[in-house]
Structure 1
Amino acid sequence: MPSTAIIGAGIGGIATAVRLAVAGHRVVVFEAQESFGGKMHQLELPGGYRFDGGPSLFTLPHLVDELFRLAGRRPADYFRYQRLDPITEYFFADGTRVTAWADEKKFAREVEEKLNVPAADVLAFLARSGRAYDATAGTFLQKSLHKAGTYLSPEVLKALAALPQLGLTSTMHQRHEAAFSDPRLVQLFDRFATYNGSDPYQAPATLSMIPHLEHGIGAFYPEGGIYAIAQSLVRLAEELGVEFRYNEPVREITTENGRVTGLRTDQDTYPFGQVVSNMDVVPTYRHLLPTQPAPERTLSQPRSSSALIFYWGIARRFSELGVHNIFFSEDYKREFEAIFQEQTVSSDPTVYVNITSGHTPTDAPEGHENWFVMVNVPHDQGQDWPALVAQTRAAVIRRVNRALGTDIGPLIWAEHVWDPPGIAARTSSFGGALYGSSSNNALAAFLRHPNFSRRLKGLYFCGGSVHPGGGIPLCLLSARIVSDLISN
């Protein structure tokens, strides 16, 4: 029986463990924290408020379902979810409010009514987004871009035929500005760049296919919240014989004669035929492989954005808010300049509020709500985070107060803050960058670290810092790619 070690019990590591266990491997997962989940953890605050700690949006649920089916299980026996309708409530700085309905035609009519953009323009844009996704996902998301065999598959011909339509030479913002007459709708679609920690004013128009995930396929809510994804998959992994060793950080990946031989922790040195790192690729090389040459060009790629998150127990319910809510800033370009050029936080940031207590009532006391409040910020480079946290907290309250017509400050009965240094400390994400490198140029997909080592046999990589990228669906796809590479 082949033996494989996985470093990190984030969603990519858990999914890889399941796939390899199904393939007959003995799998041991080493996790530095006290429990599983990585960014997909949960926390509770005094007063009865529960929060999903990290990811809050769930798309492509079939990628979770397929893990249960691979193991011969019925997905619904472990994990259930429902499609969200509406998906998101948008609050613009001028007071306009737009509801993103799950039905594309209903959403297009909403846009026409509220923003005076023809519904036909919205539907044409979403159809184009869907075509681009269908033409390219099979190559650019589901296979290794660093293996020659990938480019001999039929999907590549499909992707190559779509290249002229992908917008590799223009930016997301330019594409959206050309498609829509109203700057508010441009801002709405520009915000999808943040799904992989990028800047719509720099990121290629290729990323304009991202809205298809929500508007063409759907956004979903798992019963029990996002953390239930990790819970259900860990349960499955344990049933398949995977061993999880918590509170046991890996100190070194051991090597000999150009291949990995196992790993070392404070407890022992363990022999393994394969090692899969679910850690960020930068600390993997810097801390676990200090004597090995590192791919410096890859590791020096510009980092993605990070997040500043306020977890607030709110002593009131707001009927106008849904699961996902966006309060837009007045000057979006200025906001991204602050993040990516000045490495600071705009004085008027866009605010994302996720509220799960409407779907999971036990997440907050009766009459209260659990607000996961997030602002996009730069990754940690030694900024004065206590000052930025205080400044941003005040700006968030001002922005939300203006939109809701009330003072939410006195309603905050419980609070916890997670900033980029805290994200880096808990998850080993370099600088707290949520998605590894940014996607602010047309070649970003090819410049991400591959899912395997070119120098060390038996060393593989999964998770948000390597191909195909960050976020729940892409981390699950990285697990599929890694398991295929190991099995083949």
Structure 2
Amino acid sequence: MPKLKAIVIGAGIAGIASAVRLAVKGYQVDVFEANAKPGGKLGEINMNGFRFDAGPSLFTMPQYVDELFKLAGKNPEDYFKYIKLKEICRYFYEDGLRLNATADLDQFAKDIAEKTHSTAAEARHYFKKSKTIYEVTHRVFLERSLHKLKSYLHWDTLKSIFRFGQIDAFRTQAKANQSFFKDERIAQLFNRYATYNGSDPYQAPATLNVIPHFEYHFGAYIPKDGMYGIVNALVKLAEELGIRFHYSQKVEEILHSKTGKTKIEGVKVNDKTYRADIVVSNLDIWFTYKNLLKDITEPKKLLTQERSSSALIFYWGMDSSYSDLGLHNIFFAKDYQKEFSAIWKDKTLSHDPTVYVNITSKHIRNDAPANAENWFVMINVPANNGQNWDQLINEARANIIKKINRILNRNIERDIVCEQTLDPRGIESKTGSYQGALYGNSSNNQFSAFLRHSNFSSKVKNLYFCGGSVHPGGGIPLALLSARIIDDDIRPVQ
């Protein structure tokens, strides 16, 4: 009997994970990727002797990557190595406050108590609440489909339903954090976690306070070969399993039967038909419906929901080293609410943005020349709605440099020896994310978890969806979980 065939559209992290899982189940798998390289948002840039991770820069929940190697009967350490960070992030405020968030929660709580008006007890109470939200939600909202009855027929699901009031869904994250901390600067620090899924802490539910638990309980890590090392390791595994990658091959249409019960037939690429028993789309759900699914009614309400925020990123090769900076660094806006109002209400950029600086050469020395550093400098921005991005980029660059100069008391611009920029337009064109939104739809209301598209099609049999634009959401851990949810729904080849 010939093998059953599966096709995955897009070699982003969720697409590769889905391909691996299908191959382990016995399918012959082909992956079609529009770009010349795999990775999607998880890309890399090489420039003038500097290497940059182009997209996601924080690595948490490494067990979801290791799981893929174990499923294939491989030792993860033979493919992929990472180290746990002792220091999670350095925080810089305009009033001179500096905080180092460490993996040692007691030490971090003590640091908060010594330097701010908040107490160690406040911090410990917050982290306990974060843990509770995780315990209530992770089985139901993260690891299972919300769109199948069987997901609710588990005892742990019923227990979570009875504990629903503990997930803090009916007040905003900002309101909750204001109640947790006397010092508004610490509330601001934890409001920042709304940006991990492209949302606004002044609108999004306090359920998002689950996110710090991923970092502070499970830990933050750095792959020894950088974030793109995740892609290289998984592609190597996939190829060993016989998965075939077709780069610079853009899928034009998902083919399905037109008579009888609608079921998947394959895909069309460059006017050529490739037959398949299963198709998994890792493309943004908006473009999947708009461009690939002909004669299938699109879910208009879902596709017209508010998009998540995007990013403006400067990749700077710095001809100097900065001892007061670490791997992850945050320079906070003085007025955080004003910054988010600019992004979400005015669809523009604040003149005083919060700036994130990631410097992998602090740990991976070959990522920059000797006595130099690779700066990944990012601010949150609205999705692309036709703004004058060229003007906004110039203004943002100047404001970012002024801000960092002011806080570090250095002239950083003279150290910039090479530069590239990525804005929402480029994010859309390079990664297929509608309007450059990094996480699909926003999570700015308490029902957002239920409003994401399912991981399967209710209209086309054997059509599945993975990645950050569908359930359970964006970011590496959730993208990998989207592949696991699909896996749970597909039977092994007999």
CA contact (8 A) 2:309 2:381 kept: yes
Residue of structure 1 in register with 2:220 after alignment? 219
Q: CA deviation at 1:292?
A: 1.6
The code of the aligned residue for 1:239 comes to E
Alignment of 1:388-467 (within 5 A): 388-467=392-471
Identify the match of residue 353 of structure 2 among 349, 355, 367: 349
The code of the aligned residue for 1:397 comes to I
Alignment of 1:462-481 (within 5 A): 462-481=466-485
Q: Deviations along 1:396-427, whole A, 9 cap, x unmatched?
A: 10111111110101111010000000000000
Q: CA deviation at 1:322?
A: 0.8
Residue of structure 2 in register with 1:87 after alignment? 88
Q: Secondary structure at the match of 1:130?
A: helix
Q: CA deviation at 1:268?
A: 1.6
Alignment of 1:33 with 2:35, yes or no, is: yes
Alignment of 1:50-199 (within 5 A): 50-199=51-200
Identify the match of residue 365 of structure 1 among 369, 378, 382: 369
Following TM superposition, the consecutive aligned residue runs of length 4 or more in structure 1 with deviations greater than 3 angstroms are none
Equivalents in 1 of 2:266, 2:406: separation in Å?
A: 56
The code of the aligned residue for 1:2 comes to L
The code of the aligned residue for 2:253 comes to E
Identify the match of residue 19 of structure 2 among 11, 17, 35: 17
Identify the match of residue 4 of structure 2 among 2, 6, 15: 2
Residue of structure 2 in register with 1:485 after alignment? 489
Equivalents in 2 of 1:341, 1:92: separation in Å?
A: 25
Q: Deviations along 1:280-316, whole A, 9 cap, x unmatched?
A: 0000110111432101111111000000000000111
Equivalents in 2 of 1:164, 1:113: separation in Å?
A: 33
Gap regions ≥5 residues in structure 1:
none
Q: CA deviation at 1:74?
A: 0.6
Q: CA deviation at 1:116?
A: 2.9
The code of the aligned residue for 2:194 comes to A
Residue of structure 1 in register with 2:291 after alignment? 287
Equivalents in 2 of 1:162, 1:209: separation in Å?
A: 15
Residue of structure 1 in register with 2:378 after alignment? 374
Q: Secondary structure at the match of 1:446?
A: helix
Equivalents in 1 of 2:255, 2:23: separation in Å?
A: 23
Equivalents in 2 of 1:344, 1:184: separation in Å?
A: 24
CA contact (8 A) 1:193 1:199 kept: yes
The alignment of Structure 1 onto Structure 2 pairs a total of residues equal to 487
Q: CA deviation at 1:320?
A: 1.1
The code of the aligned residue for 1:38 comes to G
CA contact (8 A) 1:136 1:158 kept: no
Equivalents in 1 of 2:213, 2:163: separation in Å?
A: 16
Q: Secondary structure at the match of 2:361?
A: coil
Pick which of 443-452 and 284-293 moved more. Answer: 284-293
Q: Secondary structure at the match of 1:224?
A: coil
Q: Deviations along 1:250-275, whole A, 9 cap, x unmatched?
A: 00011113112100011621110111
CA contact (8 A) 1:311 1:373 kept: yes
Q: CA deviation at 1:317?
A: 0.6
Q: Secondary structure at the match of 1:264?
A: strand
Q: CA deviation at 1:160?
A: 1.4
Identify the match of residue 42 of structure 1 among 41, 44, 54: 44
The code of the aligned residue for 1:160 comes to I
Equivalents in 2 of 1:176, 1:487: separation in Å?
A: 44
CA contact (8 A) 1:90 1:98 kept: yes
Q: CA deviation at 1:50?
A: 0.3
Identify the match of residue 330 of structure 1 among 331, 334, 338: 334
Q: Deviations along 1:234-259, whole A, 9 cap, x unmatched?
A: 00000001000001000001111311
Equivalents in 2 of 1:458, 1:272: separation in Å?
A: 10
Q: Secondary structure at the match of 2:192?
A: helix
Q: Deviations along 1:202-240, whole A, 9 cap, x unmatched?
A: 000111111111111111011111000011000000000
Identify the match of residue 344 of structure 2 among 340, 346, 355: 340
Residue of structure 1 in register with 2:247 after alignment? 246
Equivalents in 2 of 1:267, 1:297: separation in Å?
A: 31
The code of the aligned residue for 2:183 comes to D
How much is the aligned-residue C-alpha RMSD, in angstroms? 0.9
Q: CA deviation at 1:95?
A: 1.3
Q: Secondary structure at the match of 1:217?
A: coil
Equivalents in 2 of 1:397, 1:430: separation in Å?
A: 29
Equivalents in 1 of 2:318, 2:491: separation in Å?
A: 49
Give the structure-1-normalised TM-score. Answer: 0.99
CA contact (8 A) 1:248 1:267 kept: no
Q: Deviations along 1:118-171, whole A, 9 cap, x unmatched?
A: 101101110110121022101100000000111111221231132111111100
Pick which of 409-418 and 156-165 moved more. Answer: 156-165
CA contact (8 A) 2:343 2:350 kept: yes
Pick which of 10-19 and 284-293 moved more. Answer: 284-293
Equivalents in 2 of 1:381, 1:485: separation in Å?
A: 37
CA contact (8 A) 1:132 1:162 kept: no
Q: Secondary structure at the match of 1:262?
A: strand
Pick which of 254-263 and 376-385 moved more. Answer: 254-263
CA contact (8 A) 2:136 2:164 kept: no
Gap regions ≥5 residues in structure 2:
none
The code of the aligned residue for 1:197 comes to G
CA contact (8 A) 2:132 2:166 kept: no
Equivalents in 2 of 1:134, 1:165: separation in Å?
A: 10
Q: Secondary structure at the match of 2:87?
A: coil
Q: 1:267 to 1:238 in 2, by over 3 A?
A: farther
Alignment of 1:232 with 2:233, yes or no, is: yes
Equivalents in 2 of 1:207, 1:276: separation in Å?
A: 28
Identify the match of residue 320 of structure 2 among 316, 326, 330: 316
Residue of structure 2 in register with 1:278 after alignment? 282
Equivalents in 2 of 1:132, 1:190: separation in Å?
A: 16
Q: CA deviation at 1:85?
A: 1.3
Equivalents in 2 of 1:157, 1:137: separation in Å?
A: 13
